[in-house]
């Protein structure tokens, strides 16, 4: 089994060489060079194989470039947008204090925190009504919203109108009360009936976790997830009412995101320590919905196959995907975790090249020679 190492109560990743773990280093390095050409906005690529970090490379030209751009024009643009739309420049920022915005991969972390809340008894049942955690809004919410359950938020089946449409996410961010904004959204379907990717669901879930645990979502994460994994450098943006953004804007180091992937690969174990129950990992990775892009969806995790260009074999992968090249892939049959982070490019996103890298280089490098 893959493992995290407990060294004086401080967890860290073992390191190894690609050849020692059955990967072709020539092919993987060639693939990374190709990926940088196809997707210049990529910042880093990390691969864990057999529980060991075997590949960790950075696009060395991008970070100084990014810092220079941000300190000048980009910083002025972001702050100008913030003044116009009345929200923090962090909503679009890629890097904060050396940490990278993992964007919608934040939802995967949120799924794990929901598992923590269930395991610790903060949430007795996923069938609890969401509105019950927000009594101050109960009289304002339409009666149908009483039917939204926690499991609907995890599986993106709240039925609420998706804020991904018509720039509604900006309207939410501009508002002084994000939870109220979400609870005032119209219904597109009956709760539990239809999948619709909706960051509003994730933000409601963050609010539920905070209310259920009596801690902020970040405090919950630090106590039960980040600290046990020796993840010490994070920033998580919060809304005007203090709820951390459930759908995005968790900033962390790429290697720490890889630790989270390894935790999931190991069924919730970190070394000899049980962090999250195996039952939750299995349930959250089970197909709960079919998404518009053809992927299945668990509890905030995408589930689909990636095909090796060499053999034509399909490998099931569990993944999180964020705008600008933020990716977390877990491939159990090959004992692989892969992480990428990159820059948001506003309309010129070539992050589809990441999956091509896996199909053409990473998967073939792991197959029997």
Residue 9's pLDDT is 52
Tell me, what CATH number does 175's domain have?
3.40.710.10
Q: How many CB atoms lie within 10 A of CB 295?
A: 17
Please write the tens of the pLDDT for every residue from 33-46: 999 999 999 999 99
**How does pLDDT run across 11-65, given as a tens digit for each residue?**
789 999 999 999 999 999 999 999 999 999 999 999 999 999 999 999 877 654 4
**CA–CA separation, 263 and 3 (whole Å):** 8
Decide: helix, strand or coil at residue 20: helix
Helix H or strand E encompassing 342: strand 336-342
Domain count, the chain: 1
Query: Looking at residue 165, what is its pLDDT?
Result: 87
- Spatial separation of the C-alpha atoms in residues 88 and 80, rounded to whole Å: 10
Q: How far apart are the first and last CA of the chain?
A: 22
pLDDT at 70: 46
pLDDT for 143 equals: 77
The pTM score is: 0.92
pLDDT of 139: 79
> What pLDDT shows up at residue 91?
65
Q: What angle do CA 168, 107, 346 make, to 5 degrees?
A: 50
Q: What is the DSSP string of 120-159?
A: TTSSS-TTSBGGGG-HHHHTTS-GGGGG-BHHHHHTT-S-
| pLDDT number for residue 85 | 45
Sign of CA dihedral 108, 111, 116, 122: positive
Distance (Å) of CA 280 to CA 198, 299, 302:
22, 10, 16
Domain range for 152: 5-366
Per-residue pLDDT of the chain (369 residues; tens, 9 = 90+): 444 444 435 578 999 999 999 999 999 999 999 999 999 999 999 999 999 999 999 987 765 444 444 444 445 444 544 444 444 556 678 999 999 999 999 999 999 999 999 999 999 999 999 999 999 998 777 778 899 999 999 999 999 999 998 789 999 999 999 999 999 999 999 999 999 999 999 999 999 999 999 999 999 999 999 999 999 999 999 999 999 999 999 999 999 999 999 999 999 999 889 999 999 999 999 998 887 677 899 999 999 999 999 999 999 999 999 999 999 999 999 999 999 999 887 666 788 999 999 999 999 999 986
Pairwise CA distance, residues 285 & 298, whole Å: 5
Angle at 166 between CA 163 and CA 169, to 5 degrees: 35
């Amino acid at each position: 089994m893959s493992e995290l190492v407990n060294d004086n109560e401080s967890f860290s990743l073992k390191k190894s060489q690609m050849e020692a773990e059955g990967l072709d280093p020539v092919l993987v390095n060639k693939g990374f060079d190709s990926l940088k050409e196809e997707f210049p906005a990529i910042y880093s690529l990390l691969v864990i194989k057999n529980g060991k970090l075997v590949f960790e490379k950075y696009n060395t030209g991008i970070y100084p470039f990014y810092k220079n751009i941000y300190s000048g024009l980009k910083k002025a643009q972001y702050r100008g947008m913030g003044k116009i739309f009345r929200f923090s420049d962090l909503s679009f920022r890629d890097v904060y204090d050396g940490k990278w915005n993992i964007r919608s991969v934040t939802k995967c972390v949120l799924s794990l925190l929901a598992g923590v809340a269930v395991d610790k008894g903060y949430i007795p049942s996923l069938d609890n009504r969401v509105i019950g955690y927000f009594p101050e809004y109960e009289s304002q919410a339409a009666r149908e919203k009483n039917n939204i359950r926690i499991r609907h938020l995890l599986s993106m089946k709240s039925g609420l109108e998706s804020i991904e449409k018509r720039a509604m996410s900006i309207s939410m961010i501009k508002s002084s009360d994000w939870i109220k904004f979400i609870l005032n959204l119209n219904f597109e379907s009956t709760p539990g009936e239809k999948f619709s990717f909706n960051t509003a669901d994730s933000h409601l879930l963050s609010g539920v976790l905070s209310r259920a645990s009596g801690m902020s979502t970040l405090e919950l994460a630090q106590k039960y997830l980040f600290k046990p994994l020796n993840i010490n450098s994070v920033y998580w943006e919060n809304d005007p009412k203090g709820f951390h953004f459930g759908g995005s804007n968790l900033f962390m180091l790429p290697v720490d995101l890889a630790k989270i992937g390894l935790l999931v690969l190991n069924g919730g174990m970190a070394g000899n320590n049980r962090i999250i129950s195996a039952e939750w990992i299995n349930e959250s990775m089970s197909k709960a919905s079919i998404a518009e892009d053809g992927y299945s969806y668990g509890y905030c995790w995408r589930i689909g196959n990636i095909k090796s260009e060499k053999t034509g074999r399909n490998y099931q992968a569990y993944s999180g995907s964020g705008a600008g090249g933020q990716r977390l892939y877990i491939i159990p049959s090959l004992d692989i975790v892969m992480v990428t982070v990159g820059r948001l490019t506003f309309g010129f996103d070539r992050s589809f090249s990441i999956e091509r890298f896996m199909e053409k280089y990473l998967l073939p490098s792991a197959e029997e020679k």
